[in-house]
Amino acid sequence: MVKALINRLALALIVVAGPNTATAAPPTQPARVARTWTIEDILTIPQVEQIALSRDGRSAAYLVRVTRSQDDGPVFELHVLDLQSRRDVILARSDWMEHLEAMPAGPGWSVLADFGAGVQLYRVSGNTPPSTLVFNPRPVLVGNVDGGEFGVTFTRPLRFGVAFYSWSPDGRRLFYSTLEASSAPPAIVANEPIARASLHHRTGPPVSVHFFMKQQQVAPVPVMTVSDHDRVARWLGAMPVWRADAIEYARQIDTRSDPTVQRFAWDFATRQSTPLPAAAGLARPAVIGPHGGTLAIDRLDNVLRLREHQPDGRVYDYGASEDTLSDPRSPGSWRASDGAFSLTAVRIPREARYALLKIDEAGHRQLIDARGSLRNCAFDSALHRGICIHEALDRPPQLASVDARSARVTDLHAVSARYETIAPLRITPRTWTNAYGFVSAGFVIYPRGYQPTKRYPAIIVTHGSDADQRFGAPSFQWNYPVQVLAERGYVVVLLNDPFTAQSPTIEMAATTENSCDGKTSPAEVRQLLWLNTVESMRSAIAQLDRDGIIDPARVGVAGYSFGSQIVNVAVTQTHLFRAASSGDGGFLEPSVYLAAACSYNAIYGGAPGDPAAAGAYQAFAPSYRASYTHTPVLQQLAEPLAIPTTDFYRALRAHGVPAEMTLYPGESEASDETHIFHIPANRRAAMQENLEWFDFWLRGIEPSSGPDGQRRQRWDALRDEARRDEAEPMSP
Amino acid sequence: MVKALINRLALALIVVAGPNTATAAPPTQPARVARTWTIEDILTIPQVEQIALSRDGRSAAYLVRVTRSQDDGPVFELHVLDLQSRRDVILARSDWMEHLEAMPAGPGWSVLADFGAGVQLYRVSGNTPPSTLVFNPRPVLVGNVDGGEFGVTFTRPLRFGVAFYSWSPDGRRLFYSTLEASSAPPAIVANEPIARASLHHRTGPPVSVHFFMKQQQVAPVPVMTVSDHDRVARWLGAMPVWRADAIEYARQIDTRSDPTVQRFAWDFATRQSTPLPAAAGLARPAVIGPHGGTLAIDRLDNVLRLREHQPDGRVYDYGASEDTLSDPRSPGSWRASDGAFSLTAVRIPREARYALLKIDEAGHRQLIDARGSLRNCAFDSALHRGICIHEALDRPPQLASVDARSARVTDLHAVSARYETIAPLRITPRTWTNAYGFVSAGFVIYPRGYQPTKRYPAIIVTHGSDADQRFGAPSFQWNYPVQVLAERGYVVVLLNDPFTAQSPTIEMAATTENSCDGKTSPAEVRQLLWLNTVESMRSAIAQLDRDGIIDPARVGVAGYSFGSQIVNVAVTQTHLFRAASSGDGGFLEPSVYLAAACSYNAIYGGAPGDPAAAGAYQAFAPSYRASYTHTPVLQQLAEPLAIPTTDFYRALRAHGVPAEMTLYPGESEASDETHIFHIPANRRAAMQENLEWFDFWLRGIEPSSGPDGQRRQRWDALRDEARRDEAEPMSP
């Protein structure tokens, strides 16, 4: 979630493909074994957002984000699975549901949901209608919409009354936040706050976040009110940690993408906040070890070690480890009430998958895992049993039972039967070591019916570290129909950045880019954080070429957001790619220095006008490098902050490089699509556009006429112009 | 109007003054001779927008744009003056009125007005309520507002049903346009149209302009429907010209600031349009000479000559002239029905004033003028008599009668008695010849109670060619309280760009800047169109210094829109100025290349990333030149397209230069202030801010605490920082 936040604040750009694809599966395809992937399949992959265990251990509730092809947006379903009978029922549906927990007392579940009155806190159970636990009568409009607070829900605009809640461990207290939109007339504004008005397309009122503590029968007590500019408070509920006497929380104290927080404690008795003695640090969740101390990955003598830090200063060392503890994509940290062991949800970067790490009191480590990933787990308080999502790139999600003592994993229930009928594609995990000596993890998806004697066109897809063992995660593959590309005869490579943990220099560069601390030079920042991934692409292409799998003259590259930054750099620094698709980005373009001055100073060494930085901009800014490339670039946009996209588009066109940019609209003139598309018709059309784009440039297949009837004419004209330029002698 | 359009499309930036000023005049000040100017006086100067003569010649109707201090916006009044009795009555008031004409038959006046149902075409007379002539039941929201079409009304958002109309000379036909907002869901958009989405802060639906011809009792016939992207069609009614058999009109055929039009003729009988044989040209009104041909100013052998072109090719030469014919600020061209002479409204650039030029059949020229300007005239069809606005910088507007035969001008009626009671300031017209040899016209306003033995601080105010003999025109002085600055002891210089007509090289540079035709080099474009005005400032300062009038160490500079471009260049290319205020601009900043690529190519020689242009950007782009200057810069903003403003602000601050930017808000979160402010409270506060800014830096007078209570602290801190920097040795 934090990483998503970090990515959200980096502006980035993006693009869909061909008429010959079986893009529209018949809505009711007879269930038969071994059918093939369609775009509709990708569009409707369910996302299990969260799991909660009942206190009696008999059932597991889970939230699924569902998209049906003919809907105009996602819907959230609250399911309950009886762990004995494996019977699954849907308790509720809503345009928004999150933060699912078992009620601290009695049956039922607490959840934030919109049941017609904006998002509020409800109790949902099988026997009764939802009942209101916390209700804010003036919910705030949130979304990419006129009059709304800019949101990261990736849905249509919604009203939010309650933004966050957390039960105390003993269930007697409830900590929660509500939103309030200011109705005051707008004031005259001076200086830096004006810049904020340019960061988003839509304008809304100032929004405050009110935090309260409620103790059983007592009226709620205000804890604090903050501006929604504090993103940690607004979106992470101020990251509360319950103590016996107080609640600890975090306040954002800077404006960086990966923000720094100062922690405080609000005393239940005195109702006063005091800052905690610990120094301000990044916004990271608390992870607990078997002795009740804090688990962390520490670098000592250039080796990463898993260690537990006690409050009295004692440290336990559990050995070398490069894993990520409680990664936002699979958060979780538990300690058995009898202290026998701790469980931590981990991400294994070198294998690009998720598992559970068990550490016992004696310090023995054991990985509890399954083929692919175990993720988003929920455990009972005694840590006997948990329920996780078990999935892999080639394995649709199941709810699985995990026995923490025996480490046994048992699949219980398929989340969607539809995907069980698709013949799995052949997907191989791989790592590549690039010319800088750094390792990237990823996967190779073989085309359906792969023949080793043939060489295939290939598409490389990238988005940070999101290529991992999750089934069709939109946060990785976005509008790139990875599975259908494989069905259509492409090798598809899912490639991660070289993972940060492997090297202190990459870690330091990332810190410099976020904080502009100047400890890593701009040239190294560019090399370690962008060129590094491009070099991994070069290594992957070389390996697949050496092994006779791909045709190196027909390789495309695609990525959205941070991935689009990599794509834009890849096509303006190498001639590896025959076509590119770049999604909803723009970061690295000089025209958006406004939005990220600190990071740009770290990347380029100064502002675009600073002579000291001029060479760096000339060498690296994609639109400044347009004369170098020949690679056709498609850019697909959601929020129409079109300046950097247009700068790159026009620079490419000015140098005769084929280029197209496409803006996907919101529900109306008053709203925009979201960074990860929420309108199925848009996502479908964008995937189609990407298929057609790569089919056109890599395989010479004519596109459809597109949504405006002009696509084929435009692309044919781009191709004809490029052929004419190739025929001419190079100008000096 | 066209010039206003031209300026509108050039992004530009702007800034109010001190607690010691008598800023708020008592609302009802007893009328006494020789009182002094207040900010409230400036705020409430009436603007006579248009005059129309009744067909019987007995009355003149006129539209006045009125602002009362306590209102939240301007109001339009329709007055009728009985030319015999001089009795003036108000027939109607509305949030919007324009295009006033005498009814072609019968009494009364036709006018576009909003009487509660959006702007429609009405007939207004003294005896009856307004009656509807053309009514569009679905008016379109226009203004800087969510869901509205971007407007140039400089009012709050309004709904427009009818946008334009014109009666045929015989009164039997009516040509008019209505607006329609599309209600279709937004579509997927490709390429260049996406860039348009970034040009404005607010988003609205696509708008169509429907043109109709109505002939007396016949139902209206559709002539054409165009997108509002055709600005000539949208805002200038397609510039119709009536012929006996057809109506000629103009369509915009490019996207330049000063657009090119192709003319067509719509035949009344066939109802078909055909292109006219004349080549496409700039959007200029037709000006008619005594022989019925087209009057123009032609350059021959480097001399500008006034000539009349006949359709048969014959040309009449009326001698040298550098005047502008039918300038948008005083349009008008008439020919006596007996052909004895023609009358043309002219602007005399060297004198910066308006008059009438009479040319008789024998080719004799006569200037009909008065002290100051005669402007916005209306003449009867026989050209015996006309009514004009008679005004000057030091003379509040009167309606005046003009006898075309005798050339006699008679003042009839003061538009606002309030201004007759203010003691005129001493204002001297002047020209300056700069180091390039070019002439700028302007005015010197002496401080109240000027003593020749003293030297005074000075403020130079500029905005294109708008410093002329008009009384307090907001389109020139914007939020710079010129008259109150003079009351407070400043010399105020109103300075124009060196006027274009004096030199073919300036003309060519302006053409190149608009069309990127490459005929003038970028260096010359910068020199002739921006540095030229700065050099005139240098000459003006030198002259006033030589004459012992000003203290050259205490000179400020101010300008909005195009004027802000000059200000930003002036402070980053010279050390002439002790403080600057720059209003609502941003053009010339590299980050807005998106919006004006053609012009930027002409100015800089390429895009910001083009190595061929890098030197030009380094040498000229204000934010790239921030390290050169020490001049404190205030920027005042309406529409929060804050990127270029913020770029300049941050660049200044990064180099320790004092800077402030202030954003003035719209009516609510959903709307913005307009380029020329329409909210009196904003204009008052902005004028106050400018007074305080210049008082602070030029005279060391502490400011008020400002609207947010923090102004004094902020400005004191800026000053203290600047003093510390001055005390340090210069870094190499």
Taking the CA atoms of residue A253, residue A255, residue A258 and residue A259 in that order, the dihedral angle to the nearest 10 degrees is 10
Beta pairing, strands B341-348 & B333-335: antiparallel
Whether residue B574 has pLDDT greater than 70: yes
Could you give the 3-state DSSP secondary structure of residue A544? Answer: helix
Please give, rounded to a whole number of angstroms, the shortest distance from the CA of A295 to a CA of chain B.
41
Please give, rounded to a whole number of angstroms, the shortest distance from the CA of A588 to a CA of chain B.
13
Query: What integer is the mean pLDDT of A595-624?
Result: 93
Query: What integer is the mean pLDDT of A509-519?
Result: 94
pLDDT, residue B550, reads: 98
CA distance A219 to A664: 47
Could you give the 3-state DSSP secondary structure of residue B640? Answer: coil
How many CB atoms within 10 Å of residue A70? 8
Query: What integer is the mean pLDDT of A631-638?
Result: 96
Mutate to test the interface with A, among B618, B643, B704 (most CBs of A within 10 A): B643
Whether residue B4 has pLDDT greater than 60: no
Whether residue B15 has pLDDT greater than 80: no
Query: What integer is the mean pLDDT of A507-528?
Result: 95
pLDDT, residue A32, reads: 53
pLDDT, residue A727, reads: 78
pLDDT, residue A647, reads: 92
Taking the CA atoms of residue A533, residue A539, residue A543 and residue A545 in that order, the dihedral angle to the nearest 10 degrees is 100
Whether residue B501 has pLDDT greater than 50: yes
Chain CA centroid to CA A306, Å: 25
- Which residues of A fall within a CB distance of 8 Å from B669? 147, 186, 203-205
Residue pair B606/B521 in contact by the 8 Å Cβ criterion: no
- Range scoring the smallest mean pLDDT among A191-205, A451-465, B107-121: A191-205
pTM: 0.90
Comparing C-alpha atoms, which of A176, A65, A56 is closest to residue A108?
A56
pLDDT, residue A126, reads: 85
Residue A58 structure tokens: 């008999």
Contact between A621 and B643 using a beta-carbon 8 Å cutoff: no
pLDDT, residue A6, reads: 39
pLDDT tens track for B309-333: 998 999 999 999 999 999 999 999 9
Whether residue B9 has pLDDT greater than 90: no
Of B256 and A80, which is predicted with more confidence? A80
CA distance B401 to B378: 10
Whether residue B591 has pLDDT greater than 80: yes
Comparing C-alpha atoms, which of A683, A698, A567, A563 is closest to residue A633?
A567
pLDDT, residue A200, reads: 83
Give the max Cα distance, chain A.
83
pLDDT, residue A22, reads: 32
What share of chain B has pLDDT > 70, as a percent? 95
Mutate to test the interface with A, among B198, B618, B673 (most CBs of A within 10 A): B198
Mutate to test the interface with A, among B207, B516, B601, B646 (most CBs of A within 10 A): B646
Query: What integer is the mean pLDDT of A55-75?
Result: 92
Give the max Cα distance, chain B.
83
Please give, rounded to a whole number of angstroms, the shortest distance from the CA of B177 to a CA of chain A.
24
pLDDT, residue B336, reads: 86
pLDDT class for A17, splitting at 50, 70, 90?
very low
Whether residue A33 has pLDDT greater than 90: no
Whether residue A500 has pLDDT greater than 50: yes
Residue pair A540/A432 in contact by the 8 Å Cβ criterion: yes
Please give, rounded to a whole number of angstroms, the shortest distance from the CA of B616 to a CA of chain A.
11
Query: What integer is the mean pLDDT of A118-147?
Result: 95
Residue A107 structure tokens: 């049956």
Whether residue A729 has pLDDT greater than 80: no
Could you give the 3-state DSSP secondary structure of residue A613? Answer: helix
Of B446 and B11, which is predicted with more confidence? B446
Chain CA centroid to CA A570, Å: 21
Lookup result for tokens 């189609």: A688
Comparing C-alpha atoms, which of A528, A503, A533 is closest to residue A441?
A533
- Which residues of A fall within a CB distance of 8 Å from B645? 194
pLDDT, residue B3, reads: 36
CA distance B168 to B248: 12
CA distance A161 to A141: 9
- Which residues of B fall within a CB distance of 8 Å from A670? 146-147, 203
pLDDT class for A395, splitting at 50, 70, 90?
very high
pLDDT, residue B255, reads: 85
pLDDT, residue A256, reads: 86
- Range scoring the smallest mean pLDDT among A295-304, B276-285, B359-368: B276-285
Axis-axis angle for helices A611-620, B611-620 (nearest 10): 150
- Which residues of A fall within a CB distance of 8 Å from B198? 640-643, 646
- Which residues of B fall within a CB distance of 8 Å from A201? 197, 203
- Which residues of A fall within a CB distance of 8 Å from B146? 146-147, 202-203, 670
Mean of per-residue pLDDT scores for chain B: 92
Could you give the 3-state DSSP secondary structure of residue B389? Answer: strand
CA distance A117 to A108: 21
* Residue B92 C-beta-side C-alpha neighbours within 13 Å: 29
Contact between B640 and A197 using a beta-carbon 8 Å cutoff: yes
Query: What integer is the mean pLDDT of B409-430?
Result: 96
Contact between A637 and B194 using a beta-carbon 8 Å cutoff: yes
Identity of the residue numbered B150: F
pLDDT, residue B32, reads: 53
Please give the backbone phi and psi of residue A105, each rounded to the nearest 5 degrees, phi first: -140, 140
Residue pair A160/A142 in contact by the 8 Å Cβ criterion: yes
Mutate to test the interface with B, among A199, A202, A479, A643 (most CBs of B within 10 A): A643
pLDDT class for A336, splitting at 50, 70, 90?
confident
pLDDT, residue B730, reads: 56
Whether residue B21 has pLDDT greater than 70: no
Chain A, nearest residue to B608 by Cα: A624
pLDDT, residue A592, reads: 85
Comparing C-alpha atoms, which of A302, A702, A352, A663 is closest to residue A506?
A302
Contact between B663 and A194 using a beta-carbon 8 Å cutoff: yes
pLDDT tens track for A647-703: 999 999 999 999 999 999 999 999 999 999 999 999 999 999 999 999 999 999 999
pLDDT tens track for A165-180: 999 999 999 999 999 9
Query: What integer is the mean pLDDT of A443-450?
Result: 98
What separation in angstroms does the CA of A330 have from each of A163, A347, A404, B254? 21, 8, 17, 54
One DSSP character per residue, A626-689 reads GGG----EEEEESS--HHHHHHHHHHHHHTT--EEEEE-B-SSTTBB--SS---HHHHHHHHHH
CA distance A522 to A711: 40
Contact between A663 and B194 using a beta-carbon 8 Å cutoff: yes
pLDDT tens track for B77-96: 999 999 999 999 999 999 99
CA distance A512 to A492: 33
What share of chain A has pLDDT > 70, as a percent? 95
Whether residue B491 has pLDDT greater than 80: yes
CA distance A63 to B450: 79
pLDDT tens track for A78-124: 999 999 999 999 999 999 999 999 999 989 999 999 999 999 999 99
pLDDT, residue A339, reads: 81
Contact between A197 and B594 using a beta-carbon 8 Å cutoff: no
Contact between B594 and A708 using a beta-carbon 8 Å cutoff: no
- Which residues of A fall within a CB distance of 8 Å from B609? 590, 617-618, 621, 623-626, 651
Comparing C-alpha atoms, which of B701, B192, B255 is closest to residue B490?
B701
